[in-house]
Structure 1
Amino acid sequence: MILVTGGTGLVGSHLLYNLLKTNDKIKAIYRRQHKLELVKKVFAYYSSDFESIYKKIEWIEADLIDIPALQIAFKDVSYVYHCAAFVSFEPDKYHQLRKINIEGTANVVNLCISHQVKKLCYISSIATIGHHQNPQQLITEDTIWNQDDDNSVYAITKYGAENEVWRGTQEGVDAVIVNPGIIIGPGLWHSGGSSSLIKKIYKGMPYYTHGVTAYVDVDDVVRAMVSLMQSTIKNERFIVISENLSFKEFQDLTAAALGVKPASKEATSIILGIGWRLDWLRRLLTGKRRRFSKQMTKSAKSITKYDASKLKNRLDFEFKPMQVSIKETCQLFLEDLNREAKDPSGR
């Protein structure tokens, strides 16, 4: 029996579809009932028989910090894909991030130990890997994390979650960690995650930066996770990225695929500095969620290039080119947009 946490997320929903091709015994955890419709939506991209495929999943309502509910979910489970996480870069969400990402992962690891789970796959982030002083030097799995750096609250808690997984490996649980870049894929356009980038660019993003980071298609993330779980590889981490692109390059490719105007104004350091301060003030005056933090401005300017050679060599793995991934994802976005325009009710 396989258990997937975070089954209603971008990675979780695509992972479930992949797993159901070859395995009927799948459990998945969800927190909100309405999110289950998003899973069906993702399945519908790939199969007209999505309803019958979806019905094969044994859904369990549980929270990562609700141990009694998790106990029920772990019954008869041999393999676990831990995809659930709280994603936020808002500094005032730090304690909530710790609760879900670190404490929640500790609970999952402890249950893996007590239920003698054979193998655990944890989806982390490239945010938990250190950086080089030389921006042109490729970052690998061996690049050391600097805890004294000005890391985002999200990165800090995902790093703490990784430490819980490594603790589990010392207590008898075989595990692999995947560290993907920004994940591109269809379905969760309104979630606020990486999929919402497509929606934001469609609506118009006037500013760009020359910062560089790594991107990867959601299907490649899923294939890497499943391949690692099915292999004899254990207690290692793997960077999962297709290409390093500047934010301008990504925005230009996406705008072209959507048929909209690309960003035309560079967000200079001065503009970014004013931006995050105004956003802080808006939060103070209105109580609305932060959209732009100091750490986000730093990332927007940083040149960080990652190397996925370890995964490529160990699994003979080939990635989908990002131009193809962006084009495919944008096509599905436009189809959904057209469908919503014809039937706003979503029927």
Structure 2
Amino acid sequence: MILITGATGLVGSHLLLHLLQNGEEVRALYKNQENIKKTEALFRWKNQPLLFDKINWVPGCISDIPALEIAFENIDYVYHCAAVISFNPDDEEQLRKVNIEGTANIVNFCLAKNVKKLCHVSSIAALGDLQEQETIITEETEWNPEKPHSDYGITKYGAEMEVWRGEEEGLKTIIVNPGIILGTGFWQNGSSEVFIRIKKGLKYFTKGATGFTTVNDVVKIMAALMKSDISKERFTIVSEIIPYEKLSRTIAKALGKKEPSINLKPWQTSIAWKLDWLVSTLFFRRRNLSRATAKAMHTHSNFDNSKIKNALNFEFESIENYIAEVKNTF
């Protein structure tokens, strides 16, 4: 049997659907019934309500040891998708507890229960830092602890260290490092929230660029890697390097909305994150814009996807085509 953590999130829900469509027996970890409704909605949209009924749901989270004892009974393979995704500095403690300590718990249970293989979902935020003469980030690019990183990136890197520890102790592992994931069914949070913002009339864009991929490609690659003999490897999952301006315009065009027209300069977003910090401090509200996010909006990051393409002979789907396909689903 297969266990999926983070089964009610974007990747976990789509992975559940993909595995069940391929005849796998799946157990899913969930925190509350409300979260399950999002996964059920995805299965209904995909016209697969009968497959949803085959999921073996287990209540709990990756920080709940007694719940994990139950969840890991008779498990052969584990897909670890659970994580906190936040660039708010106020969430540092939660990021460390879930992303690092939670991953350590999963690794420990995999070892104790003789799990055959673990697939860990990391992020491009955990990949290394370019040296002066380098232009593209690969799986072998070294992490430089002296360079600034977001708390999210630091904790995802820390989680990877726990996975490699498991590998050294005898656990077969795979790590995937997806770029920004676009997917259906979870429009109110995460990376897909950009669709809602543009639908409401987003006016601004920045000149940065980064790697994007679709949730379909992510789950297909994860499943293929788990069935393969490949282990002790990490793979960058990036379909295309897309400027934020181009992505915003592509989505706006697909939705029939006005394209963003105001180019925010670095000095403007610098002022914005400082003002946001001041307002959040004075009025005790959550941050909307962090320093790390403001910087990323103007950074052009280039990632190499050749390793996964060669390992699986994999061809990524077009981001533009995917946007056109899902435009009417929210």
* Interval containing the TM-score (normalised by the shorter chain): over 0.9
Percent of aligned positions that are identical = 46
Partner residue of 2:46?
Answer: 46
- In 2: Cα distance, 1:7 partner to 1:155 partner: 22
- Distance in 2 (CA, whole Å) between partners of 1:136 and 1:115 is 42
1:235 is matched by which residue type in structure 2?
K
Secondary structure at the aligned position of 2:289 is classed as coil
C-alpha RMSD of the superposition:
1.2
User: Which of residues 284, 300, 305 in structure 2 aligns to 1:303?
Assistant: 300
- For residues 184 and 21 of structure 1, the distance between their equivalents in structure 2, rounded to whole angstroms, comes to 21
> Which residues in structure 2 correspond to 1:206-217 (within 5 Å)?
206-217=203-214
What is the deviation of 1:22? 2.2
Question: Residue 56 of structure 1 aligns with which residue?
Answer: 54
2:117 match: 119
Q: Could you tell me whether the CA contact under 8 Å between 1:125 and 1:180 is conserved in 2? A: yes
Is residue 19 from structure 1 mapped to residue 19 from structure 2 by the alignment? yes
Alignment deviations for residues 133-156 of structure 1 (CA, whole Å, 9 cap, x no partner): 569822111111111111001000
SS at match of 2:11: helix
Which 5+ residue runs of structure 1 have no aligned equivalent? 334-347
- SS state of the match for residue 77, structure 1? coil
Distance in 1 of aligned mates of 2:123 and 2:133: 19
Q: Which residue does 1:271 correspond to in 2?
A: 268
Give yes or no for the alignment of 1:78 onto 2:76. yes
Cα distance in 2 for residues equivalent to 1:142 and 1:39: 35
Distance change (3 Å), C-alpha of 1:133 and 1:202: farther
CA distance in 1, matches of 2:68, 2:76: 14
Give the equivalent residue in structure 1 for 2:10.
10
Q: In the aligned structure 1, how far is the partner of 2:303 from the partner of 2:33?
A: 37
- Return 5+ residue gaps in structure 2 as ranges: none
Aligned equivalents of 2:146 and 2:129: distance in 1? 12
**1:100 matched residue in structure 2:** 98
Contact 1:135–1:305 under 8 Å retained in 2: no
**SS in structure 2 at match of 1:331:** coil
Which residue identity is paired with 2:98? I
Say whether residues 1:66 and 2:64 are aligned partners: yes
Q: CA deviation at 1:131?
A: 3.0
Of 36-45 and 223-232, more deviation after overlay is shown by 36-45
Deviation at 1:40, TM superposition (A): 1.3
CA distance in 2, matches of 1:319, 1:11: 16
Deviation >3 Å, runs of 4+: 133-136
Residue 184 of structure 1 contacts residue 329 of structure 1 at CA under 8 Å; is this kept in 2? Answer: no
Matched, 1:283 2:289: no
Tell me the TM-score normalized by structure 1: 0.93
Aligned-partner residue type, residue 198 of structure 1: F
Between the aligned partners of 1:204 and 1:144, the Cα distance in structure 2 is 40
2: CA distance between counterparts of 1:110 and 1:19? 24
What residue number does 1:29 align with? 29
Residues 169-223 of structure 1, C-alpha deviation per residue, up to 9 Å, x if partnerless?
Answer: 0111100000000000100111x20111111111122111110100001000000
- Tell me which of 154, 157, 170 is aligned to 2:155: 157
Structure 1 SS opposite 2:327: helix
Normalising by structure 2, what TM-score? 0.98
Task: Give the number of aligned pairs.
Answer: 330
- Aligned residue type for 2:252: A
Could you report, residue by residue, the CA deviation over 1:99-154 in whole angstroms, capped at 9, with x for unpaired residues? Answer: 00000000000000000000000000000012325698221111111111110010
Counterpart in the other structure of 2:246: 249
Residue by residue over 1:267-318, the C-alpha shift from the partner in whole angstroms, topping out at 9 and shown as x without a partner, is: 1011101110111012112222111100001111111011110000110000
CA distance in 2, matches of 1:321, 1:134: 31
| CA–CA distance in structure 1, aligned partners of residues 302 and 238 of structure 2 | 10
